């Protein structure tokens, strides 16, 4: 596990860019953390690191937003989802199996639907207003190298 200390949205963006630059396609990034923890802020900078120029907004009312780039980004926010069935109804598994990158905000709410191999990213408020702890944990076999690559870019 890798813990990153952020003291500002800019610090969080620095991590996001390092993550985005380290992705090669097909990854699943699972975000957990309370409202306002910085999940969407981190997603924006990951997209930037991937070279995606679109304006990234929270997909809270649409469940998923798609962004095209050299590598596509599928940005889920499952906060308002009733259950995992709704996720399968919108073709979730095709996104997970695709060559694009999936980011799932509030992934802890759909734990049963998550692939075994994934990068868990937990955002926690710590102390002061802008202070965050951001934990990266590889689940399964394939994500340790990704964490090493991210650390190398910081």
Task: DSSP letter for 82, please.
Answer: S
Q: Locate 49 and state its tokens.
A: 């690191």
37/108 Cα distance (integer angstroms)? 14
**Residue range at the interface with ligand ADP (CB under 6 A); choices 7-15, 85-93, 95-103, 107-115:** 7-15
Interface with ligand ADP in residues 42-101 (CB under 6 A): none
98/90 Cα distance (integer angstroms)? 14
According to CB under 6 A, which one of 16, 20, 28, 38 is a site residue for ligand ADP?
A: 38
**Residue range at the interface with ligand ADP (CB under 6 A); choices 1-9, 21-29, 45-53, 88-96:** 1-9
Phi, psi of 130, deg, nearest 5? -95, 0
Interface with Mg ion, residue 122, by CB under 5 A: no
Of 29, 27, 60, nearest to 43 (Cα)? Answer: 29
According to CB under 6 A, which one of 41, 45, 65, 107 is a site residue for ligand ADP?
A: 41
Check: CB of residue 45 under 8 Å from CB of residue 10.
Answer: no
- We find the least distance from the C-beta atom of residue 93 to Mg ion, in angstroms, to be 23
Of all residues in the shown chain, the one whose CB is closest to ligand ADP is: 38
Footprint of Mg ion on this chain (CB under 5 A)? Answer: 39-40, 58
């Amino acid at each position: 596990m890798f813990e990153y200390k952020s003291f500002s949205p800019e610090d969080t963006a620095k991590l996001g860019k390092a993550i985005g630059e380290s992705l090669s396609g097909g990854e699943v990034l699972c975000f957990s953390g309370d409202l306002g923890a910085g999940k969407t802020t981190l997603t924006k900078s990951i997209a930037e690191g991937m070279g995606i120029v679109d304006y990234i907004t929270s997909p809270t009312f649409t469940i998923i937003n798609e962004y095209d780039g050299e590598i596509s980004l599928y940005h889920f926010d499952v906060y308002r989802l009733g259950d995992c069935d709704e996720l399968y109804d919108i073709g979730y598994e095709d996104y997970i199996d695709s060559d694009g990158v999936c980011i799932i905000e509030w992934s802890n709410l759909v734990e049963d639907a998550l692939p075994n191999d994934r990068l868990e990213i937990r955002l926690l408020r710590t102390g002061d207003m802008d202070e965050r702890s951001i934990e990266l944990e590889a689940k399964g076999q394939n994500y340790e190298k990704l964490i090493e690559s991210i650390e190398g870019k910081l």
